[in-house]
Structure 1
């Protein structure tokens, strides 16, 4: 199985504060890797670095063997191959659902409007939102808005999908519909790197779990091993807190 994403010795510093300290991680084709760790551990920064939204201080990132951190690489071209969904939905409030989803295919990829519309409607239908295509985001529930945000990331058929705590802004009763969509994407073979606080979901959907602490990748492995029988004391300490909080 080929490697889609390869992160090597990644360092990122904000001011005098190191946020990522020598992180190395590979993601194979069709693999789902879940990043876990407390707030401030570096999960979101790692995803933003992969999408070239944050410059690296050291290290390299390869996408399908190409060094996308080479200064000569056009970051906009790279982002056309990577979809990213944030915990905030980031939908344009003055645009309909359909216009939100078709904006990038039309403006960035030069897709004819009719073709972009057909692709968008097929995806919206798949997530049960075709009937809401003409609505504005404020007419939708949080779970519906997040599903639209995921559709917007999928419409360009990305090679890699990054998901940054996509359920953390949702009411508990709305979390399930978003997690169900991510399970469907896994079944389709989508390659994903996701940051999550949902330990049960990570156990169910991830092929591998990677625990970050203080910007260091402390431990990684199959969910049953990392979440059930962690080898590192720091991982055990983190999971004990999660258990005490009733989240595992």
Structure 2
């Protein structure tokens, strides 16, 4: 059974069609990279998967259950998915440790000591343990984004959704964030991520989806998409974003 499947997904904002007949399958341990121009629908697709956006048509199934059914509680679904945004979205009034333990304690009912122990292990793993007592405004952008990743992983999600998590970072900070994502991918975490980092997608993804005007125009292994894309629109996009 696939971990996540999407069939015929459509999403509009008023008269503007943002996602058009999108279908996608995610197997355990897949790393699916969504690429495409800004406005192609990548972020909206992730938000639909996490039920942050209502869909107009189609079916989303997660862990064998149709989660696009309006009777499904989105909070219960999100408790098994982790999502990281490009704007970090850390709570400014909470320390790093408090940010990381809030969901395990409040949503999953994990005792404080257990939640803190797991959070501290993850913070140490990614070089952040010395910042556990600090508030987010005392950290660099790269450190804040790494904390956001740790926070998402503290709930032991089945699926991790990453939405352009390096887009707001200075170029020298991008690498430290992508190293965490790479490490999680190598450890077997299942991910769907929207990214402009083509080298990362080529090296780490199990499958790459090129989105154009709300449709998945082409999907396949990185070697195929980057070396021999079938669609002219894919070739045009890659010529613009890849170094000569």
Structures share a fold, TM > 0.5? Answer: yes
Task: Indicate the residue corresponding to 2:124 in structure 1.
Answer: 125
Task: Indicate the residue corresponding to 1:223 in structure 2.
Answer: 222
Task: Indicate the residue corresponding to 2:78 in structure 1.
Answer: 79
3-state SS of the aligned residue for 1:162? strand
Task: Indicate the residue corresponding to 2:22 in structure 1.
Answer: 23
- What is the CA deviation profile of residues 34-63 of structure 1, one whole-angstrom value per residue up to 9, with x for unaligned ones? 000000000000000000000000001111
Task: Indicate the residue corresponding to 2:103 in structure 1.
Answer: 104
Measured after TM superposition, the shift of residue 187 of structure 1 is 1.0
Measured after TM superposition, the shift of residue 203 of structure 1 is 0.2
Taking the aligned partners of 1:8 and 1:96, their CA distance within structure 2 comes to 40
Aligned-pair RMSD on alpha carbons? Answer: 0.9
Answer yes or no: is 1:34 the counterpart of 2:33.
Answer: yes
Answer yes or no: is 1:202 the counterpart of 2:201.
Answer: yes
Measured after TM superposition, the shift of residue 130 of structure 1 is 0.8
Taking the aligned partners of 1:241 and 1:172, their CA distance within structure 2 comes to 19
Measured after TM superposition, the shift of residue 79 of structure 1 is 0.3
Q: Report 1:48-59 matches (<5 A).
A: 48-59=47-58
Task: Indicate the residue corresponding to 2:69 in structure 1.
Answer: 70
3-state SS of the aligned residue for 2:68? coil
3-state SS of the aligned residue for 1:22? strand
Taking the aligned partners of 1:56 and 1:85, their CA distance within structure 2 comes to 21
- What is the CA deviation profile of residues 181-213 of structure 1, one whole-angstrom value per residue up to 9, with x for unaligned ones? 111001110000000000011001101000000
Taking the aligned partners of 1:65 and 1:112, their CA distance within structure 2 comes to 29
Task: Indicate the residue corresponding to 1:183 in structure 2.
Answer: 182
Taking the aligned partners of 2:214 and 2:185, their CA distance within structure 1 comes to 27
Gapped regions of structure 2 (runs ≥ 5): none
Answer yes or no: is 1:162 the counterpart of 2:161.
Answer: yes
Taking the aligned partners of 1:192 and 1:33, their CA distance within structure 2 comes to 6
Taking the aligned partners of 1:203 and 1:138, their CA distance within structure 2 comes to 33
Task: Indicate the residue corresponding to 1:4 in structure 2.
Answer: 3
Taking the aligned partners of 1:242 and 1:229, their CA distance within structure 2 comes to 15
Measured after TM superposition, the shift of residue 241 of structure 1 is 1.4
Taking the aligned partners of 1:241 and 1:25, their CA distance within structure 2 comes to 26
Taking the aligned partners of 1:71 and 1:55, their CA distance within structure 2 comes to 9
Length, aligned pairs only: 244
TM-score (norm 1): 0.97
Measured after TM superposition, the shift of residue 125 of structure 1 is 0.8
3-state SS of the aligned residue for 2:72? coil
3-state SS of the aligned residue for 1:119? helix
Task: Indicate the residue corresponding to 2:231 in structure 1.
Answer: 232
Runs of 4+ in structure 1 off by over 6 angstroms are none
Taking the aligned partners of 1:191 and 1:146, their CA distance within structure 2 comes to 19
TM-score (norm 2): 0.98
Answer yes or no: is 1:174 the counterpart of 2:157.
Answer: no
